[in-house]
Amino acid sequence: MTNASLRPSGPRSRVKIIGAASALGAPHPGSAAAPAALQRHGLARTLAAAGLVAEWAGTLEPPAPPPPLTDMRARLRANGDFARRLADRIAALAADAVPLVLGGDHAVAAGTWRGIARRAGHAPGLVWVDAHLDSHTATTTHSGNIHGMPLAALLGEGDAALAGVPGLPLDPARTCIVGARAWEPEERQLLERLGVRIFDMAEIARRGLTAVFRDALAIARAQGSGFGLSLDLDALDPQALPAVTCPEASGLDPRELADALLALRGCDDFLALEIVEYRPDLDADGRCARWIAEFAAAALGPDGAELRDKERRHGAANYAPLPVVFQRGEGVWLWDVAGRRYLDMMSAYSAVSFGHGHPRLVRALTEQAQRLALTSRAFFSDRLPVFLERLCATFGYERALPVNTGLEAVETALKAARKWGYTVKGIADGEAEVIACDGNFHGRSITIVGFSSHRQYRDGFGPFPPGLRRIPYGDADALEAAITPRTAAFLVEPIQGEGGIVVPPAGYLARCAEICRRHGVLLIADEVQTGLGRSGRLLACEHEGVRPDGLILGKALGGGLLPVSAFLADRAVMDVFRPGDHGSTFGGNPLAAAVGTEVLALLAETRPWENAERLGEALRAQLRTAALPCVREVRGRGLLVGVELDPAFSAARSAECLLARGIATRDTNRNVLRLAPPLVIDEATLREGADIVADTLSSLPR
């Protein structure tokens, strides 16, 4: 059977899990319980959630009772017998399956990789991730433990009980060790004589795990004939992963290893994964079991191309994402399913203003989720009153109505404005009008796209509700001319986001507020994207000292964790609502309220708008100083920056070019590139990111 016939005909998605419940080579029997413990912890479910079909193919156990540790001859025979059975089981697996072998101690590897060699018809390349070299023979081991022999046996060295397991021995030139930090001279001498490459922890500390792992894969994948990876968990730092048989200080960081293993997803010649030396008896809280599941999912999960294809086949085509699949975020960084890191320069349209996975916000979310997540507003909860009180106190309004998304908050504001127009201003029933601006983006509901000047947002979705009018943005005279006795409200973004990061002329918002007061019209500010510090002030309205009659908040209010939005106003406006007039099952739920309350606390304590104002000025200055030929204008406020390109260049293309350079952002209206990183970004990181942006745009193709 050739190696090519072992690869699935389609994307890798079928995993066969084989338990190797043997501790015959180890100084402690605890690792024999690992396969059963991992099955109880739901390893297969974790893999299924990653998009894999994972099935247990059974667990092999050695005959009981095992020979005593003092009888090496009997132990070697018992290990050899077990390895043969394991190799037979692996060799018999269906050709379209990828084996995941779960030890047991590392001695089971003598069976795993001989079985893989039999399936392939030749020896695989192998990346051996381990704190130890495991390359003793029966004549060199100081401890008398077979635990230290399997790699030597796989290379054809040592006692025939292990080295003679049927299957071809490994090719030393395609075998490497990653993470070693404890060995005896005889082991190293043997491996160096054979030509095995050793990447020890000193080299990893010097070069970084990403670079080392890349080199290790190049060695194992040489000749393109298939390779595997054997992970001994004692390679990890025992402070983070203590439930192992032979811990050694100062090992690999589990997060860095999980990120490195993502590179395996793109390897169509990856044949098998082995994970060994888990001690469930030392893992009372299940932390190590969760890491094992993450390692397996990282290595075996579908790659970006397969995941994008799944979304295209099963999802509606209402988005056109850039060709990257993100799987993790931390602070200002994102990682894709290949393990590559990107600087987030978009912040999910300001929803991630506090960065990805902010510890305080995650803690608030998890603690509340464990206590109470949802009751609906049919009942009171202990979290919502606190959230509403602090929301009103923070922004200076008498009442707040909590909802989920920014779109819902805009719809809420429109309903409030119309009912206020009828019940307070005295507009005739059915005749109330609301004015918005050209270039606006308030959402995509039927009502809201009725305001839109973007043809695509409207095309095919009419007829739209009456009473919706549009005027030019930034023109206060146009507002005054458009107001009639039927006008209930003026809905406006202090800075247009999707409209192209458009900052209105100085004094515009203040004059609009004065016009609205004089004509008895509500001024409603949509600060879903600009609020909570994004513009260099707590609210963008504050740049002109304006307090709108109604305030719409969202995105950052959920801390980048879940949708939390709200409409705020004083009693004179909000009290038009009566029970049953408006509602949402999830709006104001205890989980959202807990996160929103913590967001408001962070706002008060950290004042992120100050950082946004300072760094935003520096970012705009840096880009203007670059004098890029393709750039018409650099504009914005705070850390909401738009780079408008000459029509001869494409902002959409520039976003793709930036993605290739590790910068994640998107284009927006009027050929504008959006730059809006999390507000927690530091000056050095932003400056480095801006350098990449400038360098990329300097060579942007027409």
Q: Pull the structure tokens for residue 376.
A: 């609906």
* Options 441, 451, 586, 649, the catalytic residue: 441
Q: Give residues with Cβ within 8 angstroms of 249, minimum separation 6.
A: 237, 238
Q: Give residues with Cβ within 8 angstroms of 574, minimum separation 6.
A: 398, 399, 401, 416, 567
Question: Sheet containing 663-664: which strands, arranged edge to edge?
Answer: 326-330, 333-336, 341-344, 663-664
**Alpha carbon separation from 484 to 480, 493, 678 (Å, rounded):** 9, 21, 41
Contact indicator for 154, 109 with CB cutoff of 8 Å: yes
**Is 16 in the active site?**
no
Closest listed residue to residue 109, CA positions, set 78, 87, 132, 133: 87
* Options 234, 555, 649, 667, the catalytic residue: 555
Three-class SS state of 35: helix
Closest listed residue to residue 390, CA positions, set 179, 605, 167, 217: 605
Contact indicator for 102, 18 with CB cutoff of 8 Å: yes
Alpha-carbon gap, residue 187 to 180, rounded angstroms: 12
DSSP 568: E
* Options 526, 567, 586, 667, the catalytic residue: 526
**Is 270 in the active site?**
no
Helix-helix angle 590-606:359-371, to 10 degrees: 160
Going by DSSP bridges, is the β-strand pair 672-675/640-645 parallel, antiparallel, or unpaired?
A: antiparallel
Alpha-carbon gap, residue 163 to 671, rounded angstroms: 65
Beta bridge partners of 342: 334
DSSP string of 229-254, one letter each residue: EEEEGGGB-TTT---BSS--SS-B-H
**Is 526 in the active site?**
yes
| Phi, psi for 58 (deg, rounded to 5) | 105, 165
Q: Exposure pattern of 284-310 as b/e (b: 16+ CB <10 Å)?
A: eeeebbbbbbbbbbbbbbbbbebbbee
User: How far out from the chain centre does Cα 659 lie?
Assistant: 16
Q: Report whether the peptide linkage leading into residue 99 is cis, meaning its omega lies within 30 degrees of zero.
A: no
**Alpha carbon separation from 520 to 103, 399, 486, 513 (Å, rounded):** 75, 20, 10, 10
How many beta carbons lie within 10 A of that of residue 43, not counting itself? 25
DSSP 580: T
**What's 588-604 look like in SS3?**
CCHHHHHHHHHHHHHHH
How many beta carbons lie within 10 A of that of residue 487, not counting itself? 24
Contact indicator for 668, 655 with CB cutoff of 8 Å: no
**Alpha carbon separation from 226 to 37, 78, 218, 223, 339 (Å, rounded):** 30, 30, 11, 8, 21
Structure-token match 């510890």, residue found? 359
| Phi, psi for 20 (deg, rounded to 5) | -120, 85
Alpha-carbon gap, residue 86 to 109, rounded angstroms: 9
Alpha-carbon gap, residue 377 to 585, rounded angstroms: 7
Alpha-carbon gap, residue 547 to 496, rounded angstroms: 18
Alpha-carbon gap, residue 54 to 679, rounded angstroms: 41
- Active site (catalytic) residues: 441, 526, 555
